[in-house]
Amino acid sequence: MDSGYWVLATVGIPLIAAALILFVPETPQGKDVVRWFSAIVGAVLFGISTYIFFRYQVGSDEQYQFFSRYNWLENVGFLGENGISLAFGVDGIAAPMILLNGIVCFGGALISWKIDHHNKDFFVLFWVLVAGVYGTFAALDLFFFFFWYEVAVLPMYLLIAIWGSSSAFETFARTKEYSAMKLTIMLVAASILIFIGIFAVFHEAGLGTFDLQELYLPENQLDPDTQKLIFPLFAIGCGVLAGLWPFHTWSPDGHVSAPTAVSMLHAGVLMKLGAFGIIRLGIQLLPEGAQFWMPGLMILATFNVVYGAFAATAQRDFKYMIGYSSVSHMGLVIMGLATMTVIGINGAVLQMFAHGVMTATFFAMVGSIYDQTHTRDMRLYSGIVHRMPLFVFFFGIAGLASLGLPGLAGFVAEFNIFLGTFQTYPWAAALGVFAAAMTAVYILRMMAMAMFGPPDDRFPDLKEMTYLERATGVLMLTFMLFMGLWPAPFIDRISETVRSFPGVS
Amino acid sequence: MTEGLNLDYSLLIPEFLLVGLVVAIVGLDLYAPKMKKTWLAYIAAAGLVAVGAVSLGYWDTDDNFANIIVVDDYTTFFRVFFVATAAVICLASATMVAEKFRHPGEYYALIILSTIGAIGMAASRELMTAYISLELLSFSLYVLVSYQKFDAKSNEGGLKYLLLGAFASAMFLYGMSLIYGITGSTYYSEIAVGLQNPTGDFQWAMLMGLVLIVTGLGFKVAAVPFHMWTPDAYEGAFPPITAYLGTTSKAAGFALMLVLFSQAFEVVHDDWSWMIAGIAAATMILGNLVALQQHNIKRLMAYSSIGQVGYMLMAIAALNSDTAQALLVHLVGYMVSNMAVFIVIIAWYNMTGKDEIADFRGMRERAPLLAWVLAGALFSLAGLPLFAGFVTKFVLFQSVWNEGFYWLIAIATTTSVVSLYYYLQIMRQAFVEKPAEGEESRLPVPLLMNGLAAALMVGVLYIGLYPQALFDVVEAATDVLFV
């Protein structure tokens, strides 16, 4: 039984949790209540997400499972029957994304146990963010897609500006307020393009409804010239959130300044919303426009991959390195999408999942060491492995996954992407493989510099990770291995859906 | 001439009741000197709510008083709207007014009188009546703005408002007379007929008349370039009056514009649409950009409200039944959100006596509920989801886009991002900055203010999360304009 209530619950539970947390008194006991409550909510969401993922049936007649729809606003003004409806459904692409969000938000809730300053406010905003992400992945209504998308952006300013950290280097400084504002304004400015694109699609379609399933029908396709006009709006608008070069600059700054759990969620899941938007609003809604513009997107994505890798190599700050590595790896996602082939898009979605888990692990680990030493400069560390062997273990596995070691998640994803890209744009694939190899350079060099080598007495009090952090690490690691060793459940779900897309060969 | 005219005074019962309420308030103030002055506010608010309930009884009525005042769903909608706004303003003023003035009765009386004017602007179907209503509203506001007799800023703001307002009224009158000259009537319906069958080559006279009317109304709603009085009047006025200027005065302007342009001038839509579109663009850009530089919260809200007026003017430029509906919905959403912000400003001002943006620092520590309401209401004004602003802006922009004003929407969405920047700056003070030395303690926020703030926040969330009911009501209200 694939009841729509499960998906509804993934959006409803965090929202209700946020509302309930508002009423917890601000006492030491209250703080513990908030912690326990959030951990439980995280566990429940993780459970539901896992259930949705495995319960999703491959080979079913329905394109969207766990479907539910509630009329929200109809028969007024320009809105006709089903004008705006709260419609949710899961296809083979949304299923792994929902699982990813479940993993990361559970991990994030555990990692945030340490937060003490107004932890009530933190979790209110955190759960609103989580609800927005779940909502976007499952939304089947153009209005609500955008609604949830913005819900996911809305809490970011306060989350970063209140609980974030500033960084000061020899040559420049980034205050947390600066990064928070930059991130928020860039993302909201980008969403203007989506906003305008939605107006245009609704007006041109002339159906009086924002229902995506209705708009996807072949007979309701917009005419090709209009599609070509609108596609760049969605591609750039969503692309900014996906870290598309040259609009990626918010991402390293924002992720570095954000508190650990927010970095995890933002780099791990939120950036995927951008790529997901390119699929939902670009490839599915405007297939002709996608065909026309994809070569352009491929060029930008190639820049992403190469530029991100080089920039990551130059970093001395753990988080900046991970941030630029994210830019590079999200470039691979866009590359896969831009091939417009089944195998390429397949790889892109796999990479979205793989990158999500890896990056979340990275940020969780860095958070654990930063909380003790209050510096992220990797040159100051040496031989961490002597004091924190488990830390190095988790970090190392994530690093190996990120450089594409077979048997871990990253390999499966990158392999598919490059297969698709070699078929269509060999030059881009060549550059991409080169940049992916660069990952090995910066990851291994960082490991050699900071993790191994003689023990340093600069931080003699460095303690092993807390049990909650270890639990988070194990959680992430499980899924990295799961996808690396047995990718079939993912590939079955994704490729079945991708094959049904118009214009994908 | 009165033969055949409907002189059914029962249609005007809510207005009579309001006048009665004015007399009662002033009388109580004079003849019951021992009564606590805050009670005047509560009585005024209770009376206003009662009148609102009476007005609801006119839902589904469609009747007119001597063809000059119409009581239909549109009028009922605005009666309830204005009365509700005034009630909130009275409650929000209670403490402050009781402390500062010896005879607060007049203050509430003026608020109620201005409400009658505002209702008249929505209800009238004849230019002279509309003009008199407009003046009733404006004169009450002139006095209210300069109510702090010994405060230089209040006097300055009031004087500027009075001079420019009088000037605007004169222009409006002159425009009226030109239109009357061409069409031979001051009734909206007959103006429409007259404009349809022009009797001669009066094109330029009509354009001149339209320009003057748009200018006059532009002053009232504070559209660029007629906005100069706004920041000073906002800053000089008492905080609750600032809130009142930002909501009722603007809403009344739009109520009049909507009915005037749809009933009288719709036949010459192309002749005025471009003017208002241009003004809308200038208003959105200037309002939002200048707001960036403000340090005083009331001046910032003045410019932010100018920006909001720009969005609303787009709906007038693209006037049809869809945009009219979207406009009213946006107006309601804006009213509730804006009021919520002002309740916080008023409460904060009452407790700390400060109204600079930097003085909001540490509000999260000192008055958590107010800080949360402030954040939610500002997000709503910026047009972010979960809150009212998202859906009302979305529908407004979509309806204008459908009319082909693509460039206006491009400006509107871009300036929305600008507005988010300065709203976030306020939130930064309230949430991120620590309170100043020695001011860390919790503030005793009166229950009334916390309650009002929370109630308005519930309204913001209700519109943001399930607006179908509001849309249905508004559709009924605007349908009568487009038959």
Tell whether A346 lies on the interface with B, counting CB pairs under 8 A.
Answer: no
| Chain A residues touching residue B427 (CB < 8 angstroms) | 157-158
CA distance A432 to A434: 5
Cβ-Cβ contacts under 8 Å for A40 (sequence gap 6 or more): none
Could you read off the pLDDT of B252-300 as tens digits, one per residue?
Answer: 999 999 999 998 888 888 889 999 999 999 999 999 999 999 899 999 9
Judged against a pLDDT cut of 80, whether residue A228 lies above it is answered with yes
Contact A212, A142 (CB under 8 A): yes
Residue reference for tokens 């003689």: A454
Cβ-Cβ contacts under 8 Å for A188 (sequence gap 6 or more): A150, A153, B417, B420
Provide the β-strand partners of residue A70: A86
Tell me the residue type at B303: Y
Provide the β-strand partners of residue B126: B187
Could you read off the pLDDT of A83-122 as tens digits, one per residue?
Answer: 899 999 999 899 999 999 999 999 999 888 888 888 888 9
Structural tokens at position B436 = 């100043």
| Chain B residues touching residue A156 (CB < 8 angstroms) | none
Burial class for B31, CB neighbours closer than 10 Å (0-12, 13-18, 19+): exposed
Summary mean pLDDT of chain B = 90
Burial class for B438, CB neighbours closer than 10 Å (0-12, 13-18, 19+): exposed
pLDDT of res. B3: 62
pLDDT of res. B420: 92
Q: Which residues of B50-69 are buried (b: 16+ CB within 10 A; e: fewer)?
A: ebbeebeebeeeeebbebbb
Please judge whether B322 and A78 are an interchain contact, meaning their C-beta atoms are less than 8 angstroms apart: yes
Q: How confident is the model at residue B411 (pLDDT cuts 50, 70, 90)?
A: very high
3-state secondary structure of B466: coil
3-state secondary structure of A141: strand
Mean pLDDT, residues A307-320 taken together: 88
**A30-39, A56-65, A98-107, range with the lowest pLDDT:** A56-65
Q: How confident is the model at residue B1 (pLDDT cuts 50, 70, 90)?
A: very low
pLDDT of res. B2: 54
Structural tokens at position A222 = 């917009």
Nearest partner of B382 among B314, B464, B304, judged by Cα:
B304
Could you read off the pLDDT of B320-363 as tens digits, one per residue?
Answer: 889 999 999 999 999 999 999 999 999 999 888 888 888 888 88
Judged against a pLDDT cut of 60, whether residue A1 lies above it is answered with no
| Chain A residues touching residue B410 (CB < 8 angstroms) | 196
Measured between CB atoms, which of B385, B399, B401 is closest to A154? B385
Nearest partner of A386 among A442, A457, A317, A473, judged by Cα:
A457
Summary mean pLDDT of chain A = 88
CA distance A386 to A18: 41
**A323-327, A401-405, A483-487, B226-230, range with the lowest pLDDT:** A401-405
Q: How many CB atoms lie within 10 A of CB A459?
A: 17
Provide the β-strand partners of residue B65: B69
Nearest partner of A339 among A429, A244, A275, A421, judged by Cα:
A421
Tell whether A299 lies on the interface with B, counting CB pairs under 8 A.
Answer: no
Q: How many CB atoms lie within 10 A of CB A314?
A: 10
CA distance B392 to B333: 7
Q: pTM of the predicted model, to two decimals? A: 0.93
Structural tokens at position B150 = 């010994």
Nearest partner of B430 among B366, B480, B363, judged by Cα:
B363
Tell whether B465 lies on the interface with A, counting CB pairs under 8 A.
Answer: no
Judged against a pLDDT cut of 90, whether residue A374 lies above it is answered with no
CA distance A177 to chain B (A): 8
**A33-47, A53-67, B402-416, range with the lowest pLDDT:** A53-67
| Chain A residues touching residue B417 (CB < 8 angstroms) | 185, 188-189, 192
Q: Which residues of B92-123 are buried (b: 16+ CB within 10 A; e: fewer)?
A: bbbbbbbeebeebbbbbbbbbbbbbbbbbbbb
Q: Looking at per-residue confidence, does B166 or A387 come out higher?
A: B166
Please judge whether A78 and B417 are an interchain contact, meaning their C-beta atoms are less than 8 angstroms apart: no
Contact A140, A89 (CB under 8 A): yes
Could you read off the pLDDT of B107-146 as tens digits, one per residue?
Answer: 999 999 999 999 999 999 999 999 999 999 999 999 999 8
- Counting Cα atoms < 13 Å in the Cβ hemisphere of A74 gives 16
CA distance A227 to chain B (A): 17
Q: How many CB atoms lie within 10 A of CB A498?
A: 23
Tell whether B2 lies on the interface with A, counting CB pairs under 8 A.
Answer: no
Contact B226, B215 (CB under 8 A): yes
CA distance A56 to A47: 14
**A434-448, B332-346, B372-386, range with the lowest pLDDT:** A434-448
Mean pLDDT, residues B425-440 taken together: 86
Contact B315, B326 (CB under 8 A): yes
Question: Of how many residues is chain A composed?
Answer: 505
- Counting Cα atoms < 13 Å in the Cβ hemisphere of B261 gives 28
Cβ-Cβ contacts under 8 Å for A311 (sequence gap 6 or more): A252, A324, A327, A328
Q: How confident is the model at residue B400 (pLDDT cuts 50, 70, 90)?
A: very high
CA distance A39 to A127: 11
